Amino acid sequence: MTVDQTLKAHDLKKTYPRQIILGLFAKHDQFLSAEDISQAFEKNGHPVPLSTIYRILDQFIEKGLISDVHVETSSVKLYERAHAHHAHHLICTECEKVIHVESCPVHDYEADLSKSHAFLVTHHTLNFYGVCEACQKAHS
């Protein structure tokens, strides 16, 4: 589905800021901050205020197009394209690149926890931090 089709499917008018922002998430599958997006607009030669960017991000979350992520290496809010499947992340602490991992090693463990602690687990977050292949090579 193209960006324009996606917007239409979610009852969102086709506007320049929305097209660009949705396109960024569609293309890169990386974590993006409001500031990252603002800079992309700058590069395009057509800046868009942060207030508009935040409003669009909120809408996209509401529509389920993106979701916000929580990463310990960042003090600002980050957003990623919504994934149909539960996934985990490998986050490079040097270049900030994000690798998605579909498999999940903790589902069974979650069931054990529910029993042993009488805790009703609704979801979990699992992120791995380290150095990606490219950054490792850059050192050698």
Partner DNA sequence: GTAGGTGCAAAGAGTTTGCATACGC
Partner DNA sequence: GCGTATGCAAACTCTTTGCACCTAC
- Residue from 17, 23, 63, 90 binding DNA (CB under 7 A): 17
Q: Segment contacting its own copies (CB under 8 A): 10-18, 29-37, 44-52, 85-93? A: 85-93
SS3 105: coil
- Residue from 105, 115, 138, 140 binding its own copies (CB under 8 A): 105
Q: Taking Cα atoms as reference points, which of 126, 102, 104, 128 lies closest to residue 29?
A: 102
Cβ atoms of residues 102 and 87 within 8 Å: yes
Q: Segment contacting its own copies (CB under 8 A): 2-10, 22-30, 42-50, 117-125? A: 117-125
Per-residue contact string for residues 50-69; x = within reach of DNA by CB under 7 A: xxx-xxx-xx----------
φ/ψ (deg, to 5) at 86: -55, 130
Q: Segment contacting DNA (CB under 7 A): 49-57, 80-88, 90-98, 119-127? A: 49-57
Please count the other Cβ atoms lying within 10 Å of the Cβ belonging to residue 100: 14
* Euclidean distance between CA atoms 90 and 98, whole angstroms: 6
Q: Which residue type sits at 20?
A: I
The footprint of DNA (CB under 7 A) covers: 7-8, 12-18, 33-35, 47-52, 54-56, 58-59, 75-77
